[in-house]
Structures are given as structure tokens and as C-alpha cells.
Amino acid sequence: MISILDGFGEAFRLLLSFDADLVEIVLLSLRVSLTAVVFSALIGLPLGALLAVIKFPGRQVLVVLINAFMGLPPVVVGLIVYLLLSRSGPFGVFGLLFSPTAMIIAQTMLITPIVASLTRQAISDLWVEYRDLLHSFDATPWQIMKTLLWEGRLSMMTGILAGFGRAIAEVGAVMIVGGNIDHATRVLTTAIALETSKGDLGLALGLGIVLVGIAVVINILTLSVGHAIGRQSAQGQLL
Amino acid sequence: MSKILPLSLSGISVKAGGNHLLRDININFDKGPLTLIIGPNGAGKSLLLRLCHGLIKPNKGTLTWQGSEAAFAARHQALVFQKPVLLRRSVRENIAYPLRITGMFSTAEITDRIAEALDLSGLAAIADRPAKVLSGGEQQKLALARARAIRPEVLFLDEPTANLDPRSLGQVEALIRETHEAGTKIIMTSHDMSQVKRLADEIIFLYDGHILEAGPAAQILNKPASKEASAFVKGDLLP
């Protein structure tokens, strides 16, 4: 029986040996998930701010839907993207299925509701605090959104981190739309699933520990950047 | 030459939940005297200021600047709230913010105005400190300095010295007086009679959402016509 300690041993061995396959898998995992995070931030941050600030018919319905989509099962998202990108689907002509791009699309769909929903909540609280002040300054809707996003930057970062955590850890969607093809679409989570099914639990556990390590490092780096931005902006260097 | 005054309110009523919060308000504000709106809690003082500043709309009546209902006056007036609302930025950046979003000033002009505001408010030594960590008195001075930097023709102050210690109160009052002497029309609310006596040139006594008396400070303070104003000025309990 493989123990946790064996797993740590395997993880260290993989890391210290700079295993070329592992490096490739790690880099692809980061590329896919970080790109998905960037796209979901570009969509989710303004969408969340818009939902918090602008009143329009159907806003509540949209809020309920986005909140509900926070818990979307990855396999369902994977299936939808699969249907959209498959040869008979509306975007089949682009030939994206079983490519990193398909994985990025699936992860973006998966985490955008998380980023948008957490942003909406944070911006709603700030809007209560700053509504009268910003109206008093005769700020335009665009200036209001920009200001609130900036004032809530640390909360936004939490939302983005939550999105990244969800993206890097999910396996269902990337397995369906990526296909876990060696040297093409294999990422850490699909590699773990594969090694487990092959019975190589030591390697699977080692990869799992590497995955957790990456998530921890990314969190530390992001929080450090956040604190640096906080200090810098308090001193009046930004916006 | 005034850009926006006089401000005229005619037949103004504001209702919420079937209750009249302000009723039949008729008053003119013109350049010159420092105006104090006084009255007990719940009389509608803050509401009247917010209405004049354009943050709320009346249910009935008209509000005009120089005889026009156009929103042209927005950038020539400012409001300082009872509880200072400050952005999560440095003192300097808080002053810069409203100047930047107007898009009307060059970088050099903004820098000059910030320096002047910091100097006048005595905040130059802490210009790079985060605004949120300042004391209550410093925060109120900053809110006042920020409003003043816009060089508004009309400055609304909503109980700007509430909850301040005597030293901070003196400093904020000096800043108010200095702003008034520089030519800005001050319209402020207060229920502190000693402050009213120190600052007021003219007084509006608001009671239960209605203007009971308005006139020169000496007249209202020495010979109030209504029993409510008389009791309030003397510091007696009101029904």
C-alpha cells in the first residue's frame, strides 16, 4: 500500500530530477489555467461591477443565474464545450477540440461565474459606501466602475484566486475537451487521473503534491503582489 | 460674477413611505452670507442639503440654479458628509481624485491645487499617509480640503464637526471660515447652538420637514418668532 510519505518521496524525486514530462505537464497546466483566469477576469470583473452598480430589467435573474453557475459541475461544462466544438457543433469548423484552447474555453466558462459573483458582492458593499460620494463628484458610470474595481482590488484578487484554484484543480472539463493526450493536452489533474487508473499511485500522489505546491506558491505570489499594490496605492502612486 | 447662484427652491416636497420628510420648502440661497440650517434631529436638515446638491429628487416642486433646472451646476458645487467618505488611498490621492475625474485640469494645475489644499488644511506632513488611518478630525479636514480643492462656488457641509473633539472642531471651523472668506458660499447644517452663534450670518430653522423661520442670525437667535425655534435656541426640550 502506498503511503503519503511515499507520495512526498515521489514528488521530491520528480521535482529534483527535473523530469521533462513533468515540466511539460506543469507548464501546460499553468498556461491553461492562468490564461483562463485572465479571460475570466476580463469578463467577470466588469460584469460583476455592472451587476452591482447598474439597475436594468432582468438584473436579479442574471444575479441568481451567475450565483447558481458558481457550482457548475466541470463535466457538464466540458460536455457543453465538447458539443460546441465537436465537428457537428456550431464551432466545429475551427478544429479546436482536443487542444489547449478548448481547455482554456472550458475553464473560462467554469470560473467566470465565480469571479463575477464574488466581484458583484464586493462591489455592492463598496457601492453602498461610495454611491453618494461618486454621484457628488458627478462621476460617469465608467468612472464609477473603474473606481469601485480599484477600491475593491484586494477583494477582486480573492475572487480571481478562487477562480484559479477551481481551474487548476478541476479534471472533468479538461479531460472531456482536452482528451488527456500525451505531449499535447495532458495537465496535472488528468495525469493524476490516468496514473491512478493505471495503478501507479505513487506517481499519482507525487503529481498531486506538486499540484498542491503550485497552488500554494501562486497564492503566496498573488497575495504578495496584492500587499505591494496596497502599500504603493496608499502612498498615492496608482490611479 | 456668480456662475450658478442663486439657488431657488420652490414648493419642494419629499415623501417616503407616505410620510412627508420635507414639505413646501420655499427658499433662495444667494452669494454672501454663511448659511446655517438648524433644527432638531429628524427635521430634514441633511435631506435638504442632499436635495440641494442633487443627490435626491423632490416629489414636488422645483429646484433651479440661476433660474435653470439644468444640471450645469453639478461641477460648481461640493458636499462634505457628516461621516467623511474617503477612498482607500493616500491623503494626496483623495484630494486629486475629484480633480482628475472632471478632466478639466492639467497635471500641473492638479499638483498646484493639491499643494494648496494640503497647505491650507495643515495636512501636508501626512500627505502620503493612507486616508483611512487618519484620526476623525484629520479625516474631516481632508474631506473639507478635497471639496475645497474643486474650488466650488457653493459648498454644502452636513454637520461637519459632529463627533469631533474641541481642538479638531476649532481647526475645522477655521477652515470653514477661511473658505467662506475666500468667496465660497457655505450652506451647512448643525444642531450645536454654540457653533451656530460662532459661524452663522443667516439661519434657516427647519422643524418636522418644514421651514419655520429664516432670516439673519441675530434675528433668529435673539427674537425667534415660533415657540419651537425659541425652545431650540434656548436649548429647551422640544415636543
List the single residue in A with minimal CA-CA distance to B49: A136
Is residue A95 in some structural domain?
Answer: yes
Is residue A169 in some structural domain?
Answer: yes
Instruction: Determine the residue type at B212.
Output: L
Which CATH number goes with the domain that contains A155?
A: 1.10.3720.10
Mean pLDDT of B25-37: 95
Which residues of chain B have a Cβ shorter than 8 Å from any chain A Cβ? 50, 53-55, 74-75, 78-79, 81, 85, 87-93, 96-98, 101-102, 127-130
Is residue A46 in some structural domain?
Answer: yes
Is residue A1 in some structural domain?
Answer: no
List the single residue in B with minimal CA-CA distance to A129: B85
Is residue A239 in some structural domain?
Answer: no
Give the percent of chain B with pLDDT over 90. 80
d(CA A83, CA B172): 66
Burial label for B135, CB within 10 Å (0-12, 13-18, 19+), is: exposed
Predicted ipTM of the assembly: 0.90
| A128 interfacial to chain B (CB closer than 8 Å) | no
Q: Which residues of B touch A232 (CB under 8 A)?
A: none
CB contact under 8 A, A234 and B90: yes
Longest CA pairwise span in chain A (Å): 68
pLDDT digits (tens, 9 = 90+) for B191-238: 889 999 999 999 999 999 999 999 999 999 999 999 999 999 888 776
Is residue A162 in some structural domain?
Answer: yes
pLDDT, mean over chain A:
89
Instruction: Determine the residue type at B229.
Output: A
Q: What phi and psi values does residue B33 have, to the nearest 5 degrees?
A: -65, 150
Which DSSP string do the residues of A116-182 spell out, in sequence order? Answer: HHHHHHHHHHHHHHHHHHHHHTT--HHHHHHHHHHHTHHHHHHHHHHHHHHHHH--HHHHHHHTT-T
- What domains are defined for chain B? 7-85+152-234 (3.40.50.300)
For A49, the domain range is: 9-234
Report how many Cβ contacts below 8 Å link chain A to chain B.
Answer: 51
Instruction: Please list, in sequence order, all residues whose beta carbon lies within 8 angstroms of the beta carbon of residue B106, skipping any fewer than 6 positions away.
Output: none
CB contact under 8 A, B81 and A133: yes
pLDDT digits (tens, 9 = 90+) for B107-149: 999 999 999 999 999 999 999 999 999 999 999 999 999 999 9
Q: Which residues of A touch B97 (CB under 8 A)?
A: 137, 147
Helix (H, G, I), strand (E, B) or coil at B215: strand
Q: How many CB atoms lie within 10 A of CB A95?
A: 12
Sign of the CA dihedral running A92, A46, A124, A105: positive
CB contact under 8 A, B98 and A137: yes
CB contact under 8 A, A233 and B93: yes
Number of separate domains in chain A: 1
Whether omega for the bond prior to residue B130 falls within 30 degrees of 0, making it cis, is: no
Q: Which residues of A touch B85 (CB under 8 A)?
A: 129-130, 132-133
